[in-house]
Structures are given as structure tokens and as C-alpha cells.
Structure 1
């Protein structure tokens, strides 16, 4: 599933090609996504100029004069820039044709993604209004994590992956950040010190920034907005390596399930 770095990579990949251009035609081949594509989407968007492309959590926000399109890639979705004469393939569900011939194409084999319209402020939309801070922002810090974790008995990994606490720290990057911070993923969130949370917050920022720099993590379906895969998978230290040797101490990495998600850690390096 595309996580924050993959969505950020897509955002940066498509924005230069479509910002400032006018949507000439909207083609919806398959409206049955996670939620139905609004029936009047073409009527609303056609003729409007795209003002900006940004990201909030794992959502892409495409700003127009009279509202925002909210796009979520789901588990297997991708947005790509293609030529107007590039024929659609199976699972190419939505095309936006711009006035210069550029096409923004949405592909989603599993159809778990979403394309919605928001006429008001996007941060007040029901999908976004309860989200926590962005992990790469100043609002996210060790002190913030420490304060929000007091009294919590849940595992720190599930705490870190809660979008109401902080957005976009998905399973892959939670595993990696906790390993780099030396914290066991099953340790109770409320039993971690302020100093250790400070270290963890720094590692979350570093891991995500590095993943964005590498274009995301390709494990199955993800490609960026330019159709190229991400390469951060080549740098994963624990995720997907259960039963292999720890790169730091050589002991065998343990694998378990926390919050129904695969969790890998080193019993010696993480405590």
C-alpha cells in the first residue's frame, strides 16, 4: 500500500506537469472505487484551472478555484502522466485531459482508492479533520509523542501508526524507525521516556525523508507519478527480513504481529 513517501513522490512527480493548466475533459471509466466517484465530477471540474497539488497524510489535494479534488491511492493505485494518444489499459479507471494534451491517469487494480470532491476547506472534510500532525513538520516532536503517550498501554508501534497521533507513519516506516531508535515495537507507549521519544521522532523524520529522496518503497504495486519504481526497499533494515541476521549485532531478527501488521525487530538491539 502506498505510504506517505510514495504519496509525496507522486505529488512531486505530477505537480510540475499539470499545475496551472485547465482540465478540458474528465473521463471516468469505472466509478466504483472505495467510494463512488461523484457523478457530477466532470461537470464540476471541466473548465477549471488546477491551482496546486499538495499532500495531507496519504491524501492528494488538487486545488481548483471552487474546491478541491481529494485523491487516495488505496492499496494499489497510481497516478501517472501519459500522452493523450496512450490507450487506456485494464484498471485505468480515470483520465483527466488538460488543455495542452497532458493526461493524468489513475490506475487501480483493486479499486480500494478514492476520488472525491470537496467544495469547502479540505482540512474540515470528514476524512481529514481528525488527522494528527505531519511527521516532517515542526508540530511533530519527541515532546509531542511523550505527552500524547502518557497512560497508554498499547504497543508503541500501533501508537505510532495511529493517524490521530501522527499521519503517514505506515507499517514499513514504523518498523524501520523503531529499529533505528532502538525501541521494541511491542513496548507500551506510556512506558517510554521523553528522551527516547525525542530520538524516535528524529528517526521517523530521517527514515521518511530518506524514503522520499529514494522515491518511495517498491514492494509490489507502487510506482511514482513518472511511472518509475521507488528504491528505498533496497535500504530496509528490518521490514521483510524476519529470520535473517540483524545488520547491527548479527542475531536473528524476530517476527510477530502487532495490530494485525507484520512486525520485525531485533531482541538484542531494541529494548
Structure 2
């Protein structure tokens, strides 16, 4: 795949390959926005990129944060609020997010787990699947805890769901990362720091909308659900309050079998 100027000249193969096979047999395109191709297509193709994920964090609700528990704060970039805040607060177990500012917290706010009725979390700017608070809401933050757990068997995806599988007649809960814009029913906690769970199955929502429909103001957290016997419908996915963020690495030389490989859809642009 020769590259000249801002437009790449792409040559498409007729055969299918694994990512590693493609990497070993040609120079793949990377993060080019436009490519020249010889025919009209609308298909997925491997590109020279891989993905790593941040640790899982749990959304605790929208809370007022007092100066006493703020360890440090810095400004963050629109669209990268969560990823940058995780990096800034490496040495802290809790973090708070406004649209443009990250606060590293020494501990959870007193009312974490029950969202403050005066606090309004909404989709982060350029990241609708994260939750932030407008910067003009002085002292109010969308609060997260981290790290929650580390598992290598959960496939690619940014938001965490729980599903009950019927294995040999015994219901077993498993956890899967999926796209945050899917519409799922909810598992909610009944109150502040409560281990009692409330299942909402009548309506389905995207992850970022879900906390608005839980009576306590937040979804149930993995750290609670994993220790409970929850009566879920078999083979139905439910949202939990856990999210993570991907980092894309272009033109890299990853290990022979990277865990997550990246494809891109190449479509013809009609003038």
C-alpha cells in the first residue's frame, strides 16, 4: 500500500486473511481518512492498528465533591476525558469528571452511590458513552472508582453487561463487554451503598441513559453483583455501571498475536 501525500493508494486482495497473515504479507493502511481504490466497495478490511484497554471503572453517581477529598485536578481534552483522567489519577482509587476537568479523589464523596438530585451528569463532550458534569456546576462531579477488577477473558467492548447462562441446568452469571450504544435492561442498586438489587426489564436503554432510570440514580456495580445471587432472565443481557476506554496504536509492531486487532470499513464517497 504506497502512501503519497494525504491520500493512500490502496490495493485490495481477493483472499481473506487473519490480521497476522495480512501484517506479514503486505503493508496495511493505518489511520488514513481517505484512500484511492480501483473499484467501488463497501466492506471491512484489516488496518495496521491494535487496541489496548484501560482498567474497568465503576460509575458511582453524580455528587458534590468537597475540597477536603480532592488530591489534585487538571484539565482534560474533550473526547478523551475518561482516558486522560485515568492517567492523571494513576495513584488514586477515585476520580471525578467534569466536561473539561479531572479531579483525583482521596476517597469517595459522602453521598456516593446515591446521585445528588442537584447534580446533573450527561454524556461527555465528544464521548456520549461517558458521563461528565458541566464545568459551571461548581463542586459537582461524575464520580468513578477504580480499579475494579482485571480479567483477560472479556472480549472487546467499552461497557460491561451481565448475562445469566443456563449451563447444565445451573444458572451462571457471566460478564461481557459490548458496545455502549446497544439497548439493554438494567440491574440497579436500591439505595446508597446497598447490596440489594432491583431488576428493570420492562424498558431498554443505552448505557449512558441507564443511570437516569435507576431509582438510586446509578446502575448496579460489578463489585456488588458478583457477590450476589441475582435472579436474571436466562440469556438476557443487562447493563452494569462499569466502563473502560480503548487506546488505538497505529503503525505499530505488536506481538505476533495481539489480543485485539482493528478493521475499518472502506466506503465510496459520493460527491
Normalising TM by the smaller chain, what interval? under 0.3
Task: Please identify which structure carries the higher helix content.
Answer: 1
Highest CA radius of gyration, 1 or 2?
Answer: 2
Q: Which has the higher contact order (CA 8 A, sep 6+)?
A: 2
Task: Please identify which structure carries the higher strand content.
Answer: 2
